[in-house]
Amino acid sequence: MPILSRRRRYPSSPAAYAASVGGGAWTPISLGSALRIWIKADAGLTVTSGQVDAAADQSGNSFNLTGTGANRPFYNATGSDNGRPTIDFDTPDQTFITSAVNAYAMGSTSSWFCMLQLNASSAFNGRFVGYMGSTSAAGTADDINATDSTAAILRNTTTAVISSAQQFNFCDSATVAYDTDLSVLVTCDNTNIRIYINDLTTPSGTFARAFTLGSSGIIRLGAGISSSSGSLLAGAYVWGRIREFFATNTVLDATARGNLQTYAASRWV
């Protein structure tokens, strides 16, 4: 009588595997296929002469980011306060890291998380995270203007306020401190934009806004504002630091936000 074998079905993702064997510490990978891109200052960076050439996507989706010539941000191996690294956008030469892959499939719901710092006042709305849909003109401010784009996380001009913007509609947070680690989460559920600062259970700001991001686009970190000719406007950059960033094509629920808050505190604070 032949011996019958049973084929084992292996989980399709690291998150599914963790669940199958009883969990483990929560990380963004635990979000499964909703996680579109994940960048960390302490993993996957290619650095030349102190500037970041590229940042490898830690989500497994290969949405890697690349620097642009002299505009590459600086790598700070020890950060500004707790000995952990940062990607620094703090001189006029730093503008953005732009994605080499145009297929994020974000849609009408999304979440954007960034562990960041503001390190000086700025005369413009420098972007920590911007999404440029196909109708946007690269190198301009169209991530605020275009219907399929968003300035997901930005600093609002000279004030110490974190904002999110879509088609010149701004959702603002409360005033925050300079040179202090901030856990910033922005969620868009096709009804409201919500900003969470450090306390990821209660929004710091809410604005009614429905929009759908383009299924093909690019993500920029640390972007300033350029003129229609593509030249950087004076002072139009972030003046800040990024420790970690990820984006999802879903809205993080209360459980996920609680897990994220614990994770962020254990990682960086």
Distance from C-alpha of 87 to C-alpha of 261, rounded to nearest angstrom: 21
The string of pLDDT tens digits covering residues 115-171 is: 999 887 766 677 899 888 887 765 555 677 788 989 899 887 767 889 998 988 889
Of 11-15, 92-96, 98-102, 129-133, the one with minimum mean pLDDT is 11-15
pLDDT of amino acid 230: 47
- How would you classify the pairing of strands 169-175 and 182-188? unpaired
Cα→Cα distances 187→35, 86, 233, Å: 14, 24, 29
The string of pLDDT tens digits covering residues 182-197 is: 999 999 999 999 999 9
Distance from C-alpha of 130 to C-alpha of 234, rounded to nearest angstrom: 19
Longest dimension (CA), the chain: 81
The string of pLDDT tens digits covering residues 244-264 is: 999 999 999 999 999 999 999
Question: 119 vs 100, which has greater pLDDT?
Answer: 119
Which 3 state secondary structure label does DSSP give 26? coil
pLDDT of amino acid 136: 73
The residue behind tokens 């952990």 is 84
The residue behind tokens 């003129």 is 227
Q: How far is CA 268 from the centre of its chain?
A: 16
Kindly report the CATH number that applies to the domain delimited by 28-268. 2.60.120.200
pLDDT of amino acid 138: 55
Distance from C-alpha of 31 to C-alpha of 111, rounded to nearest angstrom: 11
- When pLDDT is cut at 50, 70 and 90, the band that residue 99 belongs to is low
pLDDT of amino acid 218: 83
Asked if pLDDT for residue 223 goes beyond 90, the answer is no
State both tokens at 80. Answer: 């500004």
Asked if pLDDT for residue 228 goes beyond 70, the answer is no
Question: 122 vs 2, which has greater pLDDT?
Answer: 122
Distance from C-alpha of 181 to C-alpha of 88, rounded to nearest angstrom: 13
Question: 40 vs 91, which has greater pLDDT?
Answer: 40
Which range has highest mean pLDDT (59-63, 76-80, 90-94)?
Answer: 59-63
110 CB-near residues (< 8 Å, 6+ apart): 152, 187, 188, 213, 247, 248, 249, 250, 251
Positive or negative CA dihedral for 185, 25, 56, 107? negative
pTM: 0.86
Asked if pLDDT for residue 236 goes beyond 70, the answer is no
